[in-house]
Structure 1
């Protein structure tokens, strides 16, 4: 039964992505948004970042750029991520339009509409025990973790929801999550640029392991 659900899931992903891309080409979001981004801030319209997907394979995830390119001010001080978000970027995040380019990730088979949250490359090695099960499925534009708390829950809790999704997965659950996601976006619930969760856990960028010589990321993550 699970194999049938996986086949249905992939079929649904491809068909839904093609329909969505066609609709947004007609509107035409894929033309207007990049132009507005380029006119209002310096830098490319697309943001590319390495993420870890199914079977722990690395892939390039695409989003519309929502931050200024500069990471340091004139004095050489690092600019806080929240202060780098542009006005256009804030709107794109609040409406989730920044994630539209991920439809092409779905078409090339690296992502799904629903799945575990895409994980950054430095986070994947920190998964322990059952947590690695999240890599049994393609990462999703939305997922159980996103509808349960989005930016307002810790990474360990997000991963628990990811594992729950992998265990419970069926096509009806996907449809339920998609409908809940639409309601969340319409209500703009949890879409703000600031996260209520401020703790540092082992999946955080600034986490320092006790017994590891680990090179920390230098702030390249786009929150």
Structure 2
């Protein structure tokens, strides 16, 4: 992975992120109004995630759940289910792309509390900037086991290229259109990672 490719990838992220933010502004404004009407405020869901080299950042998404201590599946609203099913909840993450915290393509950013649970191979997913979508997301998304997701994350780190990124973006559009792999059985999204054999 040469420095030239990394710089070019960041350039594509910056230009693509800005363009997509501008193009989706009317949609995001409508979603914000719907979220405020059906769930109240705050409109955005903010959560600490782990980025490149283990650095933390605040991920932005549209809120899809009501506040409370109930299980995720019980707090997920009909509007929230629609946003997740269509991946429209991810649109605010384009701001993370513009700020340089996310890439359009890369391993999905996970919770900081998972960091001590990774083995040395799994930790390699943090050698690159995380992404809104990635190889694992187009290969099964939340239906994958954690072991399989991390294997695909490291495969991406080892083989990333412009053509691979383009292919992942195209496959992402198809996955979103077909609304595949949104949730693991028994979970609103997927179970938590608890270690090597999760």
What's the offset of the Cα at 1:196?
Answer: 3.0
What is residue 133 of structure 1 aligned with on the other side?
Answer: 124
* Higher Rg of the two aligned structures: 1
Give me the whole-angstrom Cα distance separating, in 2, the residues matched to 1:208 and 1:15: 37
Q: Which runs of 5+ in 1 are unaligned?
A: 72-78, 210-223
State the 1:3 CA deviation.
2.0
> Contact between 1:49 and 1:62, CA under 8 Å: does it hold in 2?
yes
1-side partners of 2:56 and 2:100: how far apart? Answer: 12
Is 1:84–2:72 an aligned residue pair? no
Q: Deviation at 1:23?
A: 0.7
CA distance in 2, matches of 1:123, 1:208: 8
1:195 offset after TM fit, Å? 1.1
User: CA separation in 2, counterparts of 1:208 and 1:135?
Assistant: 17
Unmatched segments (≥5 aa) in structure 2: none
8 A contact 2:138–2:175 mirrored in 1:
yes
Superposed, which structure 2 residues align to 1:173-192 within 5 Å? 173-191=164-182
Q: Aligned residue for 1:11?
A: 11
Task: State whether structure 2 residue 144 is matched by structure 1 residue 156.
Answer: no
Greater per-residue helix proportion: 2
TM-score w.r.t. the length of structure 1 is 0.82
RMSD: 1.8
Give the alignment's TM-score, normalised by structure 2. Answer: 0.92
Q: How many residues align?
A: 193
SS in 2 for 1:59: strand
Q: CA deviation at 1:120?
A: 0.3
